[in-house]
Amino acid sequence: MSPYKYKCIDDSILLPFLKKYVFSVLHHSIPYGVPANYLTLVSIIVIWSCFLYIIGVSTPDDADIIIVFFAITIYVIFDHFDGLQAKRTGTGSPLGEILDHYSDVFNGSIILYLFFRILQIELSWIFYLVIWVNLVAFTITYLEQGIRKELYFGKIGSLEGVSMILIILGSIMTSQGKNFWLGDTLFDIPLHVFLVIGLIFGVVFTVAGSIRRLQLIPKTFIHYFITGSLLCFICFYYQISWYISFLVINVYSADLILKSMKFHLLDAEIPRPDLIVYMLFLFLIFQNFLEYEIQIGFLAYGLAVTTKLLWEICQIFYKLRTYWVWWNIQ
């Protein structure tokens, strides 16, 4: 395995301001001894706890809006604390990078789910589309990192997107904001549709930027995008339950992203698309003749890939176990 060195260019328009006046200021309250990975785990636990809580809520009320707002805020803060702490203590490692960045793949989808629930948007085709295009941006970013050996975040990225979500959630806490976002339309089109269009344009710029820097379109990405788009369409066409679709779309992308990270950090084989998905497509073909319960096929695929990912993550953590720090000694 090559010597580890974290290389990242972050051109985020908000990061310089937030890092100077928010993240760095609050980070002073974190003791030197606390390992960076602990801070990453805090962000993961907070956002996943909120996710599991909101799943059990039929219709979010004002208290739920506040819970989601503060859960996302804490997540964003601690998601930046870990990098500051790793730099402060000199404990940056491939283990920390995987724990931080790979968890963000799922956390980003969770934040979008929470946003949809608070805005009371139906979890239908537009939800699948938003989750999918967000994952496309993550995937091309880490494929590019594997090729160029450098991580790049553009001017408009996840930090700007999450900040916009927090602003909207904050406004919904007021009666005027709630009426605006939950009731008003523009040209008889719900306002959230324009947010989705903005997200799509952002992803287009992200993909175009990666292609421009690479000066090619990775064949793996072409295969991933076509197959994943088909998978997303099938979830909507067959009216697969939102939670099964959420699982399937996420783990399909997460599989390729993990392969890209292993290729970059662990000198693993060149990332190739998931072939298990074709078993799902075969299932759909045979389903027309044998009358299987189609939801079961999608759930089985999602659980199979999840099991595969968990096994690979366990192997990665075992291989990189020497990088785990229980407490920093100054």
How is the chain split into domains, by residue range?
A: 8-323
Q: Return the structure tokens found at 277.
A: 């998905």
Is 190 or 261 the better-scoring residue by pLDDT?
Answer: 261
Looking from the CA of 306 toward its CB, the CA atoms found within 13 Å total: 13
pLDDT per residue as tens digits for the range 48-75: 999 999 999 998 988 999 999 999 999 9
Residue scoring higher pLDDT (175 or 127): 127
Helices and strands (DSSP H and E) totals, the chain: 13, 4
- Residue 143's identity, in one-letter code, is L
Is the dihedral angle over the CA atoms 272, 138, 312, 82 positive or is it negative?
Answer: positive
Pairing relation of β-strands 8-10 and 189-190?
unpaired
Residue 197 pLDDT grade (very low, low, confident, very high; cuts 50, 70, 90): confident
CA angle 174, 60, 238 (to 5 degrees): 125
Q: How far apart are CA 279 and CA 281, in angstroms?
A: 5
Q: According to the model, what pLDDT value does residue 305 have? A: 94
Q: Is 189 helix (H, G, I), strand (E, B) or coil?
A: strand
pLDDT band at 31 (very low <50, low <70, confident <90, very high): very high
pLDDT tens-digit series, residues 73-96: 999 999 999 999 999 999 999 999
**In terms of residues, how long is the chain?**
330
Residue 185 host element (H or E)? strand 185-186
Output the DSSP codes for 227-264: HHHHHHHHHHHTT--HHHHHHHHHHHHHHHHHHHHHHH
Distance from C-alpha of 136 to C-alpha of 208, rounded to nearest angstrom: 12
CATH domain 8-323 topology: Four Helix Bundle (Hemerythrin (Met), subunit A) (1.20.120)
Pairing of strands 185-186, 151-153: unpaired
The tokens of 42 are what? 């805090």
Query: Whole-angstrom Cα distance, residue 106 to residue 252?
Result: 12
Q: Which of 111, 79, 113, 115 is nearest to 97 (CA)?
A: 79
Per-residue confidence (pLDDT) for residue 288, from 0 to 100: 65
